[in-house]
C-alpha cells in the first residue's frame, strides 16, 4: 500500500482500468467527470487527504463497484445490492439524501449532531421513508 492509503490506491487502479477500457490517454478531470464528482475532491480522495461522504461513496459504488467500500474502511458484509431495491425507492432515497446533505451543509452540521439526526428523520419521512429506532442505535 502507498502513502495515499487504500482509497488512493483503489482510485488510482480504477483510473488506470478506466483509461485501459478505451485505450486512450485521459485526464483526471475526465475521470472526475465520469465519476460525477469535482476534480478537486477526486484529487483529495486519491491523495489520501480525505474520504468521500457516505452519499458520494454510495454513488461511487454504483460506478466502481463495492470494492470502494473496503477502500474507505467499510465492510461489504451484509451489503444490499442497490440495484435490487425498486427504482422508485432508490430515487426517493437519493432525493432525500440530497436534501439532507444540502441542509446539513448550509447549517454547517455534521452527521453526529442530534439536530442532524432530527433533520434526517424529518426529511426521510417526508419522502415516505419511516425511521424506527432499534436496540442497535
Q: Is the dihedral of CA 7, 13, 16, 19 positive or negative?
A: negative
Query: Contact, 100 vs 119, CB < 8 A?
Result: yes
Q: Count Cβ atoms within 10 A of the Cβ of residue 45 and give its class: 0-12 exposed, 13-18 middle, 19 or more buried.
A: buried
Confidence of residue 68 (pLDDT cuts 50, 70, 90): confident
pTM of the model: 0.57
- 124-137 pLDDT tens trace: 999 898 888 766 55
Q: Cα separation of 99 and 114, whole Å?
A: 17
Amino acid at each position: 500500500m502507498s502513502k495515499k492509503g487504500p482509497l488512493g490506491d483503489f482510485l488510482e487502479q480504477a483510473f488506470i482500468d478506466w483509461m485501459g477500457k478505451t485505450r486512450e490517454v485521459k485526464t483526471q478531470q475526465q475521470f472526475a467527470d465520469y465519476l460525477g464528482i469535482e476534480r478537486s475532491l477526486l484529487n483529495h480522495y486519491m491523495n489520501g487527504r480525505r474520504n468521500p461522504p457516505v452519499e458520494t461513496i454510495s454513488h461511487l459504488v454504483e460506478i466502481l463497484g463495492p470494492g470502494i467500500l473496503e477502500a474507505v474502511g467499510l465492510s461489504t458484509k451484509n451489503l444490499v445490492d442497490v440495484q435490487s431495491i425498486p427504482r422508485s425507492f432508490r430515487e426517493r432515497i437519493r432525493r432525500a439524501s440530497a436534501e439532507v446533505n444540502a441542509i446539513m451543509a448550509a447549517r454547517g452540521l455534521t452527521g453526529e449532531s442530534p439536530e442532524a439526526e432530527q433533520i434526517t428523520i424529518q426529511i426521510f419521512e417526508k419522502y415516505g421513508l419511516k425511521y424506527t429506532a432499534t436496540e442497535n442505535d
